[in-house]
């Protein structure tokens, strides 16, 4: 049975959110969807050379609004109740309301004006992106990681200049995303406010994934070759793939210290599993294994859906259009100049004999 989901804003299409979890409680416990996907009549189409076909443009828009970690009070509940779901739909509708008559009054949340955002068109029942441990929460840090200090600019959302806290002394004080360098892995998978599309193109010996947000491109060999030498570390690591039945398994190593997810280090190791569970749905599970950071591996999952209106990946020329960087740095310098002038005025005593300078805001 094909599910056609409605893209019209404000229509709740909750039943689509559970496509891919024919037996929601089981899948929600972290059992790979591959076990449940083959239970029905649908079989994965194959490429002309006989590999499962995961190709196309997929979007994780469905899961905008699903937190990475599950609120503690929800325990091991992987799906919202109907009442909780209606609550979430209400909240998201309000957050993403696009009042065309009142664009001036929009308040975004640091990712631009609200009318750019693509949430609330479909809404998921999931309580968290983390599916294992069963409580949907990232395991505790190791003693070493607890003491670890991560350079602010390398840690998305934790601290740093970009989220208003400063300092703004130079580009390195801003988050990697605000510098338009990378979102990192696994962060690139997390649904954000817009441009969540990713495109998969396959050949007999490579799989490419092209993410729209921050134009990240991965070319992943299927030829069984070994990982890069450990002397080369990369922002999004080094990926190698193989087929496990109908599931694409991608192993990612060779991370450096430049990217960090929640204090992860260069020993970060990801195992991704991609399974197409129906014509319009691909499920990606990412096991995060970093023994120097977390006391045990943990797994998150995201759902890619096909959307006829989302047929191409737009160019995301982040760095080329990075006015935000210049604005934030020049704003900080202007504030410092203004503060110096105030200080000079105070310390120069009365106006008589002192040179007065006008504040000139640039």
Among 13, 18, 249, 329, binds another protein (CB under 8 A): 329
| Exposure string for 74-109, b = 16+ CB within 10 A, e = fewer | beebbbbeeeebeebbeebeeebeeeeeeeeeeeee
- CB closer to another protein, 15 vs 314: 314
Among 1, 2, 320, 349, binds another protein (CB under 8 A): 320
235 binds another protein (CB under 8 A): yes
219 binds another protein (CB under 8 A): yes
CA dist., res. 231 & res. 160, Å (int): 29
CB atoms within 10 A of CB 236: 21
**Angle value at C-alpha 198, between 21 and 99, nearest 5 degrees:** 85
The residue range among 61-69, 119-127, 174-182, 183-191 that interacts with another protein, by the rule CB under 8 A, is: 174-182
- Say how far residue 117 (Cα) sits from the centre of its chain: 14
CB atoms within 10 A of CB 210: 16
188 binds another protein (CB under 8 A): no
For residue 163, the minimal CB distance to another protein (Å) is 19
For residue 123, the minimal CB distance to another protein (Å) is 27
162: number of CA atoms within 13 Å, CB side? 23
- Which letter does DSSP use for residue 149 in this model? -
For residue 283, the minimal CB distance to another protein (Å) is 21
317 binds another protein (CB under 8 A): yes
Site string for another protein, 47-86 (x = CB under 8 A): xxx---x-x-------------------------------
For residue 339, the SS3 value is: helix
**Strand partners for 249:** 242, 273
Binding site for another protein (CB under 8 A): 47-49, 53, 55, 167-172, 179-182, 199, 201-206, 208, 210, 215-217, 219, 221, 225, 228, 232, 234-236, 312-315, 317, 319-320, 325-326, 329-330, 332-333, 336
């Amino acid at each position: 049975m094909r599910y056609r989901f409605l893209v019209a804003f404000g229509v709740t299409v909750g039943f689509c959110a559970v496509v891919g979890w024919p037996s929601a409680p089981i899948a929600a416990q972290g059992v790979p969807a591959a076990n449940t996907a083959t239970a029905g009549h649908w079989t994965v189409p194959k490429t002309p050379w006989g590999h499962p076909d995961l190709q196309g443009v997929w979007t994780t828009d469905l899961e905008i609004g699903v937190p990475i970690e599950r609120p503690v009070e929800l325990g091991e509940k992987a799906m919202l109740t109907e009442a909780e779901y209606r609550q979430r739909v209400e909240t998201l509708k309000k957050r993403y309301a696009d009042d065309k008559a009142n664009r001036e009054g929009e308040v975004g949340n640091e990712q631009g004006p609200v009318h750019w955002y693509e949430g609330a068109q479909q809404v998921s029942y999931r309580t968290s992106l983390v599916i294992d441990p069963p409580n949907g929460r990232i395991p505790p840090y190791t003693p070493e990681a607890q003491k670890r200090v991560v350079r602010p600019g390398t840690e998305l959302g934790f601290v740093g200049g970009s989220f208003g806290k400063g300092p703004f002394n130079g580009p390195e004080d801003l988050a990697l995303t605000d510098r338009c360098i990378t979102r990192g892995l696994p962060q690139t998978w997390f649904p954000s406010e817009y441009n969540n599309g990713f495109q998969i193109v396959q050949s007999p010996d490579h799989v490419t994934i092209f993410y729209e947000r921050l134009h990240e491109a991965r070319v992943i060999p299927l030829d069984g070759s070994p990982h890069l030498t450990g002397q080369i570390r990369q922002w999004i690591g080094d990926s190698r793939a193989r087929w496990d039945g109908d599931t694409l398994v991608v192993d990612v190593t060779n991370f450096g210290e430049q990217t960090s997810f929640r204090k992860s280090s260069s020993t970060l190791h990801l195992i991704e599993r991609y399974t197409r569970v129906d014509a319009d749905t691909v499920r990606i599970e990412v096991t995060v294994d970093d023994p120097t950071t977390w006391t045990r591996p943990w797994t998150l999952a995201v759902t890619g859906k096909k959307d006829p209106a989302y047929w191409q990946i737009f160019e995301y020329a982040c760095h080329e259009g990075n006015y935000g960087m210049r604005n934030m740095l020049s704003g900080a310098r202007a504030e410092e100049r203004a503060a110096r002038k105030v200080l000079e005025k105070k310390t120069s005593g009365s106006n008589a004999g002192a040179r007065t300078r006008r504040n000139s805001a640039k």
